[in-house]
Structure 1
Amino acid sequence: MEFRPRNYRAEQESHELSRVATDSHPLCYPSLSHTEVQSTSQVHVVDDRNNDFFDPLRGTASNAEVSGKNLQDVDDIPVPELSSEAGNQLPNKESTPFRRLLMQRFPVSKMISISSMSEIIVKGGKKFEKSLTSKHLEELDDPQKFADEDKKVITRQEYVSRIHDLKDEIRHAWIAGDRVTSLKLSIKVARLLTDTSVLHFYPTLFVLATDIMDMLGNMVWERIKRKAEYSEDGNLLYFLPENFEASDICSDAKETCNNWFCKIGAVQELLPRIYLELAILPCWRFLLDQPVDSLQRLVRMTRGLADPVAFVYCHLYMAHCAQKLPSRDIGYLVTCVNDIRVLLTRIVSTDESAHGNTTENKRLLVSLMEPAIEYIMKCIFKDLSQRQVMNVLAELGLRRDKQLFGRFSCVSILVHHLLKELPTEVVCSNAVEIFHLIECNNDCSFNQHMNYRLLGFRLYESRFQVDVVNVVVDKAIQVISQYDSLDEYLKVVDAYMELVLQHLMDKHLNTILEGISERAWNKGINEDELASLQSILLKLLSFFKCLEDVFALDHFRKILDVMYGNSRIDVNMNILDLATRNGPICNPTTIQLVFEISQALYDTLDFMNVTDGASQAASLITRFVIMVDYGAEMECHLAFLVDCRGAFSSINNLKETLVHSSNCLAFKALKDTKRHMSFFKSCITFSEVTIPSIFALSRQLNLYIETAEVALVGGLVSHSDGLIDSSVSCLQSLDKTDGSRTQIDVDGIVSSIRKLCGLLVMVPGNPDLGVTYIPNTLLSLINSQPWMTPRKRSQSFCSIILLLATLSQDKLPYHADNVEILDNAIIYFGDASYGNDLVSLSKFVLQNLLSAIQQETSQAARGVMALEACNCIASSFVLNHEILPICLTLIETAKSCLAARDKYLQSTINFFDRQLPTSPVALPSCS
């Protein structure tokens, strides 16, 4: 066997493309002639389909300016971040989500105390049936005993199950034709809504009972509609259109409809009568062309309801049922709100010294009424024009003589939900007046600071005049400065923070941060307050582009110190994200602060058990380490890497980053002629010590090879030899799972072996062990590893053959960039044993290569392996009588395994035909 001599420089020059100077960028369109324009018309047509796309490599400077301007315009458009107060909208005519939320909003205990008004719920309800006279006499004799006996305890689940049973009874009776029983049971269900003895359960009771009311209304509607469309014998008369009129209804259907309203009108109790008429409210369409007219009558009827909770929820059901009517009239809803305001005014103004009329009880009562108020407000302002909004405000008493809001009397909770539903344009154009309205209405129905908060969020929804913003923010800061409660202070500040930042109100920003700092340090901070503080700090971090500007803010670091838990984790991760967003971190003070924040984040999370939060934090810390740059102070940078290794010992990816950073520092030191070699050695030593602590052996392998290359360039041959030995040890230690549950990346390992072979070209051979010691070790290792497939062994053997062939050359293709290191071509020049050792090992590797090809079970893979081996052998050895038969055999193997027109096969055969025109190699038949 004889190695093929190579002239690497001549080969490189022969394969280089000729270069031609050009005056313009190859992707730009030069001035073309008419003929050239025609030849490139197809390209222009394609481009015309994407006129909105700006290619910075292809466009002119003017186009770039236009594109930049458009992008700037887009960036200037504010993207409002609505709070839960501002963004919670209910779907139109879709009450299911609202009802579900209503039941979840007021949880109740498992046991419910019910009064005799709900005797239908108790299956043995007859024992409660006493005459009114008997009840009055018993109450006069012993009021306490009567109160105790008048109640019964039942579980919540039993109550709900009983109502579901009643619903089934009503439906079955209806199907059986017993309409009277269905109506009687429905009246009893509606009567349940008069029982407000268990306030927290009333919303659930309302949902369950009105579901039955809706079912009854649907059944009555379908019955009357069928009478209008079909004759008594079942023949179809005609289908009613959606927009039918009362004149389209036959007398029989009208009589049935009128009969239902008369039956319901005969119900004695007021509340059940109203609910039942609301349930069949759409049936007025069979009698009247304007069924909405009856709503004002029903609103006046509700004024006879004494219980405030029952009163408000009756209005809620009225708003729900009115959505089923074809024409939309909000006049009755405005009347509802005015009536509710009168009721709320009476509640909040009642003397608190009265028995049981404490502020807490008032708040509980109002909180139960709030969902109804919210729903009615949504129904009023949905899809209204600005002129209609002004008319509604006038009817609500909030607009007089073109003066809007101002110091009108209202109730705080009504102001809140009014402000939530008003169009953005109205809010922005009357922001100062709305602020005055909030100031003038401070009562126990709703926390006033939540109205100030909502106003801040609403103002951020769209653009408005700067002077208006300044006035409102000034007033808001004045108001909240009087708050002792940190929670109230933070909630309001959170709403105005974007306005303060966008309009560069530095004075207000300092005032806000100072106020937060004082209140947080004096009284501590709880979980609810943490959420608001987190939101404020995240807005700060998202607004500033440079972390130094954030750290320069007074009180920022002091505020950061009071945070804890998940809120502190989120803020710390956002600080890290900001720190690594804009290029290298060079300021030593900033580096130290971010390092401390990273330490706090590391100490909080469990990096041994990888979670999403820990993984994200690890990535941010790693990116921070990558971005740190001490410039010429390389000793400080290396000390920083040492600190990071000790502080973040559980982050495996970070250890890899530390090795990469240390190697980069070593290279940087080599370029600095004033830098002493001891620093370079310190960097290599740091990498040597750090690599073994990395968990995955496959990652250790690549880092050992990388560091060995760096050490070699610096002239540290002994270090390089030791690192190469360590990389081989890693290969020998690899098992099927690489010490973890993760499958070995065999392709990656083979790639590392090839990289190691490439490095060995530069490494001087060891005089004691011989130049073939490492390649021989690799050969044994490859054969001994069970996870090495024949295909991967073949690729590795080819790499070793190419390495040995390269080492045999008089002039190597590349060498270490260090004049003090002599390559093998110089060290072993004229040494016959050197070449003999290379040839001897090559023969052995070649045998293993041919054996691996024969062991491959896949025919297609074996054909490709044969071609790869053939090309490797042909480029490494002289095609003499010893090598040529091997190549021919491999080609025949490829012919038997691959298609006749396989391009790889044909190019290989053509190569041999050019090298040996008289060789017995021929192209396969194409038949």
Structure 2
Amino acid sequence: MFLFIFIFITYAVWMDNVSVEFFDPLRALSTEISEPVEDTFVAEKYPVSQPASHLSAKEWASFNKLLMQRFPVPKMISVSASSSKTIKGKKAIGELPANTQSDELNDSEKLTEKGFKTVSQQEYIKRLHELKDEIKRSWHSGDRVTSLKLSIKVARLLMDTCVAQFYPTLFVLATDIMDMLGDMVWERIKEKAEFADDGTKVCTLSDDFEANSICLEAKETCNNWFRKIASIHELLPRIYLELAIFPCWRFLRDDVTDNLMRLVMMIRGISDPLASAYCRFFLIHCAQKLPQRDTGHLVNCISDQKILLRQIISTKGTKFGNFLGDNKLLISLMEPTIEYTMRCIFKDPNKIADMIVRLELGKSPLELYGKVPWISIVLHYLLKVLPTEVVCSNALEILHLVDCSSDYTFDQCLNYKMVGLKLCEGIDQVNTVDAVIDEVIQAATKKKILDEYLKILDAYMDIILHYNMDRSLSSILSEIFERLCNEVVTEDELSTLQSIVVKLITHFDDMKYIFDLNYFVDILDVMHGSSRSIVCMHILTKATRNNHIDDPTTVKLLFDVAQSLHDNVDFSNTRSDDNQQAERLVARFVDKVDHGMELDRHLTFLVECRGAFSSMNDLKEILVHSSNLLATRALREKKNNLNFIKSCITFNEVTIPCIPSYARQLILYLETAEVSLFGGLISHADGILDSAVCCLQNVSLVDGLRKSNEDADGIVSLTRKLCSFMLLVPGNLEQGAMYIPKSILSLLDSQSWVTPKLRIRVLCSLLSLSATFAQNELPYHAIHEEVFGNDLLFHGDAIYSQELGSLSRVILHNMVDTIQQEPSQVTRGKLALEACNCIASFFKVNHEISSVCSKLMETAVSCLGGDDKYLQSTNNFVHKQSPLCVGGE
């Protein structure tokens, strides 16, 4: 062991003094590194920070998170035998010798078995987390060699690309461990530079410190770490470990460009394309930690990547690593590394011009080459990060570049799309718009696949519309329709077509102009499913922004659009936001339609809507309101066409029962009855009121005879409104003047959900109605001159007076009985006082009335006590009205 150390030190000294003619980038180290010095442990008390990173740690973590999510990992993973030993090997630190020397770092895990071993994904990931914890524990316990050895084991896992989809996840987990080791080494060396052995602080290193300010002991420790890593036999682990501590080169020299380029060349020695791509990925990440750096390594990395991709593209059936005949999978796995590299290349806006020249893209940002083919996947991510102004000023050249860069590494139509998106970002800066659009249309027309054709056009549609290029638009719509007629349209194609159509709808202000576009309606007819529904909603949204819709052709087209939307939405299921939005849009369309003075035509339109939109219950209410409005307009405009008004009322009588909510039915029945009286149609009003009473009877069928308090209050309020409305309606000579009030009274006894409190409210309304009918002149009448109130029809009629008296007595006795049924004593007392106030307000007190009031006051006293203020106030009021009443005394 000691002999090996002696030989190694002698070799290092020889390297310091001998000029080496042959440069081997796979084994080379800086000639300025001195011999290794044994690292000793110093307690880590003083936290220090890494150099500032140009790319934030948050951005790197976010990118890695997306990387792990991008490729699905199988539950079971086949790994090589050497990787299996690491994953299933020893876990206890105590089982590893603490005095392991540098020669032991060269003990590579040798394959003792042929083939692979299978482990679960969870086991693999769990073991990596355990290794990370073991490395951290070993480091803090002073066993740095064990930490390094375990880190080497982790780095060796990155040599295994057997399960390609798992490799990105493995890379993220393994490089997290590499970064942790690098942080710990950096902090240790910086601590030696800032503190003496006794813990005394010597100096404080700034973020931009220079190597000549570092003490000899810190440099010796740094040299020792690089020498340890240089002794690793396997190339890939050696590169990863040096990259992990690469920022530590700053303790030895100010310019580390040569060291970085050496590692770039060393990565060329990795034969597996996936492993080499991700190793470059990690190199670029580690280089971002340096405060000042040249971008040459980025250019070299992307150049090496392009060379490797060209080899993959040009070779068929050749095995690249573990990828035999599955080159597309290999390229998709390499894609994130290309994306990250391009992001770093154009991260500094001050170096964009220089990078464009160094990438051989052009002489300058304003003079690009358009005929030099690129690898399409590299070109895509170049276009993605290229500044918008560069793309806009060189649009034609870039389109030529895309045209001549066609290979299977990336879909060419997506590169056309990327250029289009960039041009849309700076839409006012686009040069030679006509030439650009002509070039795009030609490129799109060459695409035989409909999806590729539509994607290209979609990306440039905003430009065409922005510059009012009607000729190009007409040509595009014509070819789109022609292709749609000759092909079966897939969901992806429909989605892209939807985007194109929505852009058209959004751009123009007037739907009439949109409908007049050649082939627009034809294209819309070809669409189906959710894409058609979305387009229909956009059309209705645009159309209903105006005050009214009166053009007959537009109304017909919008009606078809609304019907299509209705037919594509399932209203039988639980109503979603989309369903509600669809119904609101259709309802708004119906409400906006205006046929002017052609009232018959508008009523016909409402009939068509009822049939076409039968599943939209809320719309039916709007149809009834619209029908009543039509009838009212006919009356106000002195168009006394009774047949038309009857048609409107008949329409309502058919439509209202189709609405599931009985409360809403009742509101609409009352509204329609009022319109009937306004038109002098008394018999129609009677029929509608009968329907309203039947509607109240059917309330008990809802929700299993149980109503919430809110629903019950609403029904009771509507019932009281019905009582108030009855003052307008002439009494029925055949069924009796009090036929409707009696029906309501009978209804109360049949409804189990009506509580005593609610019953008293209705009874008070009925009592008020009865008392008002007894007046010589009613407080209000129907507007129509042929509709007479009961005061004119039955004034002085003995039978009428007798019927009113009978109804009043029934109501009074019903009040007393209802109050006694209230279980709550306090509520029972208050109900008694409420009833007593109502009776005393509406009737002259005779012996019978006085007797009822006395009973109610006695009930109130027994429930509330004689000191209740409401009781005392009511008692005073009743005494003023009737000296005979002695309740409460």
Same fold at TM > 0.5 = yes
Q: Which runs of 5+ in 1 are unaligned?
A: 1-89, 126-131, 139-145, 922-927
CA distance, structure 1, for counterparts of residue 253 and residue 320 of structure 2: 47
- 1:893–1:122 Cα change, 3 Å: closer
1:700 correspondence with 2:662: no
Give the distance between the partners of 1:660 and 1:303, measured in 2 at CA. 79
Query: What is aligned with 1:215?
Result: 180
Deviates more, 1:244-253 or 1:662-671: 244-253
Q: Counterpart of 1:735 in 2: which secondary structure?
A: helix
Equivalent residue number for residue 320 of structure 1 = 285
* Change over 3 Å in CA distance of 1:895–1:497 after alignment to 2: farther
Contact 1:345 1:411 in 2 (8 A): yes
Aligned partner of 1:614 in structure 2 is 579
Asked whether 1:587 is paired with 2:559, we answer no
Of 343, 356, 369 in structure 2, the residue corresponding to residue 406 of structure 1 is 369
Instruction: Output the CA distance in 2 between the equivalents of 1:249 and 1:918.
Output: 113
**C-alpha distance 804-364 of structure 1, shift in aligned 2 (>3 A):** same
Match of 2:354? Answer: 391
Offset at 1:760? 0.6
In 1, Cα distance between the equivalents of 2:690 and 2:759? Answer: 21
Q: Which residue is 1:798 aligned to?
A: 764
TM-score, normalized by length of structure 1?
0.77
The whole-number CA distance in structure 2 between the counterparts of 1:791 and 1:551 is 59
TM-score (ref. length: structure 2): 0.80
Structure 2 counterpart of 1:343, from 308, 320, 332 = 308
**Are 2:676 and 1:711 aligned?**
yes
Q: Which moved more, 1:295-304 or 1:412-421?
A: 295-304
Task: Provide Cα deviations, 1:118-140, integer angstroms capped at 9, x if missing partner.
Answer: 45357489xxxxxx9xx99x9xx
* Partner Cα distance (2:840, 2:809) in 1: 14
Cα separation, 2, equivalents of 1:686 and 1:489: 50
Query: Which amino acid in 1 is paired with 2:722?
Result: L
The AA in structure 2 aligned to 1:188 is: K
Residue 153 of structure 2, aligned match among 188, 208, 220: 188
The question of whether the paired residues in 2 share the 8 Å contact of 1:359 and 1:444 is answered with no
Distance in 2 between residues matched to 1:809 and 1:469, nearest whole Å: 84
Which deviates the most, 469-478 or 530-539? Answer: 469-478
SS for the counterpart of 1:782 is helix
Q: Which residue of 2 aligns with 1:496?
A: 460
1:550 corresponds to which residue? 514
Give the paired residue count.
Answer: 810
CA shift in 2, pair 1:577/1:898, >3 Å: farther
Shift of 1:728: 1.3
| Residue 379 (structure 2) aligns with | 415
Aligned pair partner of 1:750 in 716, 723, 726: 716
Structure with the bigger RCO (C-alpha within 8 Å, sep 6+) is 1
Match of 2:496 among 509, 517, 532: 532
Cα distance in 1 for partners of 2:193, 2:867 equals 82
State the 1:453 CA deviation. Answer: 0.8
Aligned to 2:95: none
| Structure 1 residue identity aligned to 2:687 | G
Q: Does the aligned pair in 1 maintain the 2:417–2:455 contact within 8 Å?
A: yes
2:179 and 2:244 in contact (8 A); partners too: yes
Secondary structure of the 1:745 match is helix
Aligned to 1:129: none
Q: Is the 8 A contact 2:376 2:406 kept in 1?
A: yes
Structure 2 residue corresponding to 1:624, chosen from 583, 589, 594: 589
Determine which of 837, 851, 856 is the counterpart of 2:803. Answer: 837
Deviation at 1:787, TM superposition (A): 2.5
How many Å separate the matches in 1 of 2:409 and 2:483? 26
* Structure 1 pair 242–893 and aligned structure 2 pair: CA distance change class (3 A): farther
Give the drift of 1:275: 0.8
Match of 2:169 among 198, 204, 225: 204
Cα distance in structure 2, aligned partners of 1:785 and 1:96: 66
Asked if 1:444 is matched to 2:425, the reply is no
Deviation at 1:371, TM superposition (A): 0.5
Q: Distance in 2 between matches of 1:321 and 1:919?
A: 103
Aligned residue for 2:248, secondary structure, equals helix
> Deviations along 1:388-436, whole A, 9 cap, x unmatched?
3212222222232675323363332222212211233333333333333
For residues 806 and 568 of structure 1, the distance between their equivalents in structure 2, rounded to whole angstroms, comes to 59
What corresponds to 1:270 in structure 2? 235
**CA positional deviation for 1:276:** 0.7
C-alpha distance in 2 between matches for 1:486 and 1:899: 89
Counterpart of 2:597, as a letter, is: A
Give CA deviations for 1:138-188 in whole Å, capped at 9, x if unaligned.
9xxxxxxx9x94445555455444544544444444455433233223223
Structure 1 residues 517, 401: closer, same or farther in 2, change over 3 A? closer
Question: What CA deviation, in whole Å up to 9, does each residue of 1:847-900 have, x standing for no partner?
Answer: 545666676677997798678667655653458898799899879969997999
| Mapped partners of 2:705, 2:567: distance in 1 | 25
Give, in whole Å, the separation in 2 of the partners of 1:887 and 1:802: 16
Quick one: which of 481, 488, 491 aligns to 1:517? 481
Whether 2:715 is the aligned partner of 1:780: answer no
> 1:170, 1:182 → 2: CA distance?
5
Alpha-carbon distance, 1:732 to partner: 2.1
1:645 corresponding residue in structure 2: 610
Q: Which of 516, 520, 526 is equivalent to 1:562?
A: 526
User: Does the aligned pair in 2 maintain the 1:108–1:201 contact within 8 Å?
Assistant: yes
Aligned-pair Cα RMSD in Å: 4.3
User: C-alpha distance in 1, partners of 2:868/2:197?
Assistant: 84
What is the aligned partner in structure 2 of residue 600 from structure 1?
Answer: 564
Residue 765 (structure 1) shift:
0.5
Distance change (3 Å), C-alpha of 1:897 and 1:112 = same
Amino acid at match of 1:683: C
Residues 364 and 794 of structure 1: CA distance in aligned 2, closer, same or farther (over 3 Å): same
Q: CA deviation at 1:542?
A: 2.1
Instruction: Output the CA distance in 1 between the equivalents of 2:327 and 2:130.
Output: 35
- Structure 2 residue corresponding to 1:813, chosen from 779, 784, 789: 779
In the alignment, structure 1 residue 179 sits paired with structure 2 residue 144: yes
Give the conservation status (yes or no) of the 8 Å contact 2:850–2:884: no
Structure 2 counterpart SS, 1:811: coil
Match for 1:206: what amino acid?
A: F
Q: Secondary structure at the match of 1:400?
A: strand
Q: Aligned equivalents of 2:166 and 2:771: distance in 1? A: 88
Partner of 1:428: 392
**1:445-489: CA deviation from partner (whole Å, max 9, x where unpaired):** 322221221111112224524654444223222321222221111
Amino acid at match of 1:399: G
Partner amino acid for 1:449?
A: C
TM-superposed CA distance for 1:289, in Å, is 4.8
* Structural mapping, 1:53-92, within 5 Å: none
In 2: Cα distance, 1:852 partner to 1:752 partner: 20
Q: Which residue number corresponds to residue 37 of structure 2? A: none
Output aligned runs, 1:733-744, within 5 Å: 733-735=698-700, 737-738=702-703, 743=708
| Counterpart Cα distance in 2 of 1:402 and 1:775 | 88
8 Å CA contact retained: 2:424, 2:463? yes
Structure 2 Cα separation of the partners of residues 509 and 742 of structure 1: 59
Q: Is the contact between residue 867 and residue 891 of structure 1 (CA under 8 Å) also seen in structure 2?
A: no
Instruction: Report the more deviating stretch, 674-683 or 558-567.
Output: 674-683
How far has the Cα of 1:679 moved from its partner?
2.6
Question: Matched residues in 2 for 1:193 and 1:682: separation?
Answer: 82
Contact 1:713–1:816 (Cα < 8 Å) also in 2: yes
Further displaced range: 719-728 or 844-853: 844-853
Q: CA deviation at 1:296?
A: 3.3
Distance 2:756 2:293 in 1: 79
CA contact (8 A) 2:393 2:431 kept: no
2:239 counterpart of 1:279 = no
Distance 2:519 2:78 in 1: 54
Partner of 2:804, secondary structure, is: helix
